[in-house]
Amino acid sequence: MSVDTIYADTKQEEYMKKEGRNHCTWNRLALSFLFLMTGIYLMLFGAGTFGTEGMVFADNSGSTSGEIDPYLLNTYAAAHIQVANVTLDPLILMPEDVATVTLVMENTGKDFPVAISDAAVISKDLKILTDRYNKVGTIGPGNQLPLTFTLKAGIKPGIYYPVFSASFRGAHFLRYPFPVQIQDTPVILSIQSKPDAWVEGKRGQIVLTVMNPRDNPVTSVMVTPQFSAHEILPTSSFIGMLEPNIPVFIPFNITPHGNEPINFTLFYKNGVNEHTALSTLPITQGVSKKQADLFVSNIEVSPGAGYVSVKGDVTNAGLESANAVVISVKDPAEAVYPYKLYGVGLLKPSEFASFQVTFKPSPNATAETIISSFKDGDGRIISTETPIDISSVSSFLDMGNMEELMASSDTGIIPAGSESNIGGLVAGIVIGGLVVFFVMKRRKNAGPQIGRSKKPVKPEEVMKPAEYDQKATLELNEIGSDDKYGQAMAQYKAGAWKDAAEIFHEIVESDQSHHRAWNAYGICLTKLGLYNEAARCYENALALQPGNASYEKNRHINAGKMT
């Protein structure tokens, strides 16, 4: 081999080594540039674009491994954390109310969980009662994490913005302000309606109004009256939830006893915070403008047999009905039969009714008092007094002379016995032995009871014609000897018409020919207003004593009252 060939080979070998060294250097430079650009891209755009599979990151020692740096990954994933919802209870606070706020954190990413270091609510205007969360935890992809805080409002109304702060592992953090509104407007309790006047013991109704002028609902709403001497129903009223601007009306029935005012307390909650409101109802008793009002008019005063008779009209001048109207006389006057009390019944507004009462006036009285009473809708008895002048009838006739008193009374009825004569009485005493005989015989042969007959009795139906004169003589003797007849007369003098009538009825039932008892029986029935029955009694008396002027006059007066 020549020297030139050897030289050429040596040159070529040196060239090849030099070129190989250069090629290795360029390869190394290209690989380093590739890693640099990849790192920059990941820092700028995140690893999610290419994925992390097959990527290699260097640690502080310069060595390489296949694991992802957790701090770098958490910083990348924290960008997907946001506040999804904020709930405040109550929605709007009152001054110094306590509220709970719940913030919901959500991871909107799809690949990586996010570790949260701590969380807190920060405010310079509100007092935060919940401490900072120092260990929160991790939120997985697509998951949510609620965090609840408690805060307290100040006394100044307005809208405030506390800040929710959350820190993540690494340098990333979240700041989220949210509004909190404070209103000092309370729920209102007021009186909607009440009676025109309060009357002792008379029930009246009031209506209370509860209104929520706030922008949020309140709960557990209840109205309770204060304990008092008054009767109040219901004892409380529960409403529950009260929406904004919707009034609620609550009725209460009150029966007053005295003038003590009534305090009504409104209880309600704004969230967990209890609040109250007061309303006072004054009770001032007076006279109702609507209740029934009775007055007496057209009074007529006339004397009776030992009593005074008062007639008149009673009118309801009120706007409510008067129930169970009764007219009576006030003590010391003594109410007597037949009209101790006069029941009128129901009087509607503007209606009137006539009445009559009878009584014995107190000694030397020139005036007495008529009482008009009624019951209202609550059953209370309300009375009105009307003074009347009785001076025109204060000089009464002698009560011992019944015949004269009856003949001159307002009825004009002539009593029994005015046709008596002393000769007949003497003759009756002389033949007293025959009295028993005829009485027994008459009772034995007595026919049907005349007093209950619808037709007048003829003399021949009671006794035989031959016995008539003897019977008349016998009747004169019975005037002073018949105790029952005397009892009836005593009742009549006392003004007890009904009691006298019952005794006279017993007399005519046992002795149908007793014309004087028939006449007296008829007078009592006329006094009682039983004119048809009285007419039959007078007919029976005239059938036994035809042409008797007293009986005829009594029958005529009674007939006039029937028309």
Residues 330 and 443 in one domain: no
Residues 193 and 272 in one domain: yes
Burial readout 75-90 (b: 16 or more C-beta within 10 A, e: otherwise): bbbbebbebeeeebeb
Residues 215 and 329 in one domain: no
Residue 152: CATH number of its domain: 2.60.120.570
Q: Evaluate whether 276 touches 313 at the Cβ level (below 8 Å).
A: no
Residues 434 and 545 in one domain: yes
Q: Name the percent of the chain lying above pLDDT 90.
A: 40
Mean pLDDT taken over the chain: 77
Residues 58 and 93 in one domain: no
Stretch among 65-74, 491-500, 531-540 having the lowest mean pLDDT: 65-74
Backbone angles phi, psi at 543, to 5 degrees: -65, -30
**Domain that residue 26 falls in:** 3-68
pLDDT score of 396 = 41
Q: Would you say residue 452 has pLDDT above 50? A: no
Residues 55 and 134 in one domain: no
**Cα–Cα nearest to 185, from 147, 218, 161:** 218
Determine the Cα–Cα distance for residues 527 and 550; give it in Å rounded to an integer: 16
Structural domain contains residue 74: no
Region 493-510: what's the mean pLDDT?
A: 89
Q: Would you say residue 154 has pLDDT above 80? A: yes
Region 469-485: what's the mean pLDDT?
A: 44
Determine the Cα–Cα distance for residues 309 and 301; give it in Å rounded to an integer: 6
Backbone angles phi, psi at 247, to 5 degrees: -75, 150
pLDDT band at 135 (very low <50, low <70, confident <90, very high): confident
Domain boundary among 238, 258, 281: 281
**Among 19-28, 301-310, 410-419, the range of highest mean pLDDT:** 301-310
User: What is the enclosing helix (H) or strand (E) of 276?
Assistant: strand 273-281
Determine the Cα–Cα distance for residues 532 and 45; give it in Å rounded to an integer: 125
Over residues 176-201, the pLDDT tens digits come to 999 999 999 999 999 999 988 888 88
- Beta bridge mates, 314: 296, 353
Structural domain contains residue 107: yes
- CA distances 6 to 14, 446, 471, Å, are 13, 197, 207
Domain boundary among 227, 251, 281: 281
Structural domain contains residue 287: no
Residues 503 and 441 in one domain: yes
pLDDT score of 277 = 93
pLDDT score of 480 = 38
Stretch among 239-248, 330-339, 458-467 having the lowest mean pLDDT: 458-467
Residues 306 and 360 in one domain: yes
pLDDT score of 199 = 84
Residue type, 553: K
Task: Write out the two tokens for 231.
Answer: 């009767």
Structural domain contains residue 288: no
Q: State the first-to-last Cα distance of the chain, in angstroms, to the nearest integer.
A: 187
Of 241 and 22, which is predicted with more confidence? 241
Total domains, the chain: 5
Residues 165 and 271 in one domain: no
Residues 305 and 277 in one domain: no
**Residue bearing tokens 């891209």:** 41
Residue 340: CATH number of its domain: 2.60.40.2230
Residues 410 and 543 in one domain: yes
pLDDT band at 284 (very low <50, low <70, confident <90, very high): confident
Structural domain contains residue 242: yes
Q: Name the percent of the chain lying above pLDDT 70.
A: 70
Stretch among 13-27, 29-43, 518-532 having the lowest mean pLDDT: 13-27
Stretch among 366-370, 468-472, 512-516 having the lowest mean pLDDT: 468-472
pLDDT band at 165 (very low <50, low <70, confident <90, very high): very high
Structural domain contains residue 324: yes
Over residues 396-434, the pLDDT tens digits come to 433 333 343 343 334 444 444 443 333 433 344 434 444
Say if residue 560 is exposed, middle or buried (CB neighbours under 10 Å; 0-12, 13-18, 19+): exposed
Determine the Cα–Cα distance for residues 363 and 334; give it in Å rounded to an integer: 11
**Whether the bond into 162 is cis, omega within 30 of 0:** no
Q: Evaluate whether 103 touches 147 at the Cβ level (below 8 Å).
A: yes
pLDDT score of 122 = 93
What contacts 320, CB < 8 A, 6 or more positions away?
290, 291, 292, 349, 376, 377
Structural domain contains residue 239: yes
pLDDT score of 497 = 87
**Cα–Cα nearest to 545, from 485, 462, 435:** 462
Task: Write out the two tokens for 542.
Answer: 């005239």
Q: Evaluate whether 333 touches 307 at the Cβ level (below 8 Å).
A: no
- CA distances 165 to 106, 133, 250, 409, Å, are 14, 10, 48, 111
pLDDT score of 77 = 77
Sheet (strand 127-128) strand order: 81-89, 98-107, 144-152, 127-128
Domain boundary among 68, 100, 124: 68
pLDDT band at 70 (very low <50, low <70, confident <90, very high): low
Residues 420 and 547 in one domain: yes
Structural domain contains residue 514: yes
pLDDT score of 72 = 64
Region 346-351: what's the mean pLDDT?
A: 92
533 DSSP assignment? H
Say if residue 121 is exposed, middle or buried (CB neighbours under 10 Å; 0-12, 13-18, 19+): buried
pLDDT score of 144 = 92
pTM of the model: 0.52
